[in-house]
Amino acid sequence: MFAPDFFTLLLLLITGFIAGVCNAIAGGGTFFTLPIFLAAGLPPVLANASNAVAVWPGHILASVGYRDILLKNRQTLFKASLIGLVGALIGAYVLLTMGNARFRVLIPFLILLATLLFAFGARIRSYFNSRVSASSRHFSLDNPNVWGVLIQLVLAIYGGFFSAGLGVMLMAMLMLFGVHDIQLNNAYKNAIASVISTVAVMVFISQGLVVWSFTLPAFVAGVVGGIVGARVARFLPAQLLKNIVVGTGIILCIYYVVKLF
């Protein structure tokens, strides 16, 4: 039904690779791949679902590097993963029932939210980190109260629906829950995001929402980009990549708002 021409295929390979590198170092790969799916003429829901599959390896590859930490904390992660699983299912099915017309209206606002999260991610994490001693008495990843469960559930729903910016949200949540060690925070973040994205991807695939002729080139290029990104992370300044991601997000937001109205 949909098949990319040579130019689109080339763009999918290039942006998929860039997304893989960005996700391995700073995040924000969706800002590069999703616009290509949309510009190629895919309906918004199919474009979002196909993009979710294309960038899915990012969190998985990142989690592999933390496997020792994750194995030591598997009981804690099991509880968080259950909440993530439920939330991701809800988010994915909300997308299924929304329809293209309504999702098209949300696109610029979702991109704006994700852009703001990337732009102010460090400040957001710092804000919650400064309140960790007080908040950890009320929130815990091991034994969350009702509010703790709700926070995790809301973020998982968002991740199942539209994943851009999820990493920043999860890191802030984990700091609120008392996980202020940056390595442990990153490990938890990648593991929880892996569960959320995997569940969403399984729903999208099972419902036939993935346009494989577009997804596979970006997927393969993203895996290669992720491997390259992990190897060159020490040489590429993360802040520079973040600035590029934020700048791209602002341009996309303006473009889709103008297109919408």
pLDDT band at 132 (very low <50, low <70, confident <90, very high): low
Tell me if 145 is assigned to some domain: yes
Tell me if 31 is assigned to some domain: yes
Token couple for 136: 């950890």
pLDDT for 51 equals: 95
Tell me if 185 is assigned to some domain: yes
Q: How far, in whole angstroms, is CA 37 from its chain's centroid? A: 16
Residue range of the domain that includes 53: 6-260
For the chain, what is the domain count?
1
* Residue-wise pLDDT tens digits, 185-243: 888 888 999 999 999 999 999 999 999 999 999 999 999 988 887 777 667 777 777 78
Tell me if 71 is assigned to some domain: yes
How far are the Cα atoms of 63, 82, 100, 158 from residue 86, in angstroms, in the given order? Answer: 20, 6, 24, 12
Cα–Cα distance for residue pair 167/213, rounded to 1 Å: 28
Tell me if 1 is assigned to some domain: no
Task: Give the residue, 126 or 7, on which the prediction is more confident.
Answer: 7
Tell me if 101 is assigned to some domain: yes
pLDDT for 207 equals: 96
Tell me if 175 is assigned to some domain: yes
CB-based contact 148:140 (threshold 8 Å): yes
